[in-house]
Structure 1
Amino acid sequence: MSISLRRARTMIRKAFENARGAEMKPLAAVVLDEGGHIIAFEREDGARPGRFEIAHGKAYGAVMLGMPGSAQMARAEAQAYFIACANGALGGRMVPVPGGVIVRDSKGKILGAVGVSGDTSDNDAAAAKAGIEAAGLTAEI
C-alpha cells in the first residue's frame, strides 16, 4: 500500500479544516511517500513565505529517521550531536520539531509523513494528525 494523490489531498484538506475549526494561523502542508518524495503540497491563503521549506523539513526528517518530530526534538535535547549529524547527512533538510507526523497503515507499516507549518509546532502536529486520521490512516505524532 502507498499513499495515493487522492488520499494525500484528503489529508491536507482535513488538516486545513481542523486548523480553521481551531482558529489556527494559516498553514502549509506537505505529504511525502516512504522514500521522502512529495506527493502533494498546499499552502493556505495568508501562510507566510518559507512555510513550504519548514513543512517539508518536518515531514522529511520524520520519514527519513522513522520518528515523528516530537521524538526528534526529544532526541535533539538528549543527544544534540546525533540530530546535528543526521541533519548534515540528510543535506540540512530536517526540521526536528513537532509537526512532522509519521503516516502508518493498519499493520503499522510506515507509508510516509505529513509536515505542517504555520502555527505552533504542537498545533501543526494536531492538524496533521487530524488529516491523516480523516484519510483512514494512523498518525504517529
Structure 2
Amino acid sequence: MSTTTVAPLTIEDAELLIVTAQRAAEGAGVTVSVTVLDAGGQLLAFRRDDRSVPISGETSTRKAYTALQLDAPTAELVGLVQPGGLFHTLPTALDRPLLFIAGGVPVHRDGRLIGAIGVGGGAPDQDHGFATEAARALV
C-alpha cells in the first residue's frame, strides 16, 4: 500500500487559483466572486469583485462545496439532478449547501483531491471555464 504524501492546498495555491480565475473573467468582461476550499471543506480564500452581484459570493462558495463533496465539476452534475436523474432528490435530501450549477471544479494534486474552486457571477458556462482555467494553472 502506498503512503505517498500529497501536499495540501496552500494559501499560495489558493491565491493563484483566485488570480487566474479573476483574470480570465476580466478578459471576458465578466465580474465574479471566487471561492477556494481546502480538502476538508474549509474556506481557504475568497474574493468578490466589488462590481459583481452580491449573490455571486454565495453561489461561488456553494459551487466549490458541491464540487468538493462529489469530487466532480458541477457542470457534469447538472443533468443528474433534473427530474428522472440519478441524483434528482439529492439537493433537497441533505441539509448541505449544494448547488448544481456549472462553476465549481475540484482541485487535484498527484491524483488526489486537495480542494475545490467555485466561480459565480457570469453565465454558468463562463463560470465553469474560469474555474477550469484556474485549476489547470495549479498544475
The TM-score by the shorter chain falls in which range?
0.7 to 0.9
- Classify the secondary structure of the residue corresponding to 2:82: helix
Please name the residue that 2:42 is paired with: 37
Residue 94 (str. 1) matches residue 115 (str. 2): no
- The answer to whether the 8 A contact 2:81-2:91 is kept is no
- 1:14 positional shift: 1.0
CA distance in 2 between partners of 1:41 and 1:114 (Å):
10
Residue 117 (str. 1) matches residue 120 (str. 2): yes
CA distance in 2 between partners of 1:82 and 1:129 (Å):
23
Structure 1 residues 50-129: aligned runs within 5 Å: 50-77=55-82, 79-80=84-85, 82-85=87-90, 87-89=92-94, 91-105=95-109, 107-129=110-132
Tell me the TM-score normalized by structure 2.
Answer: 0.87
How many residues were matched structurally? 133
CA distance in 2 between partners of 1:108 and 1:29 (Å):
23
Code of the residue aligned with 2:24 in structure 1: it is N
User: Identical aligned pairs, as a percentage?
Assistant: 29
> Which of 9, 14, 25 is equivalent to 2:20?
14
Gapped regions of structure 1 (runs ≥ 5): 137-141
- The answer to whether the 8 A contact 1:61-1:95 is kept is yes
CA distance in 2 between partners of 1:79 and 1:4 (Å):
39
User: Relative to structure 1, is the Cα distance of residues 79 and 110 closer, same or farther in structure 2, using a 3 angstrom cutoff?
Assistant: farther
- Classify the secondary structure of the residue corresponding to 1:112: strand
- The answer to whether the 8 A contact 1:87-1:94 is kept is no
Gapped regions of structure 2 (runs ≥ 5): 1-6
- 1:77 positional shift: 2.5
Please name the residue that 1:139 is paired with: none
- 1:84 positional shift: 3.0
User: Relative to structure 1, is the Cα distance of residues 83 and 30 closer, same or farther in structure 2, using a 3 angstrom cutoff?
Assistant: farther
Code of the residue aligned with 1:114 in structure 2: it is I
Root-mean-square deviation (CA, aligned residues, Å) is 1.7
Which protein is bigger by CA-based radius of gyration? 2
- 1:92 positional shift: 3.9
User: Relative to structure 1, is the Cα distance of residues 71 and 30 closer, same or farther in structure 2, using a 3 angstrom cutoff?
Assistant: same
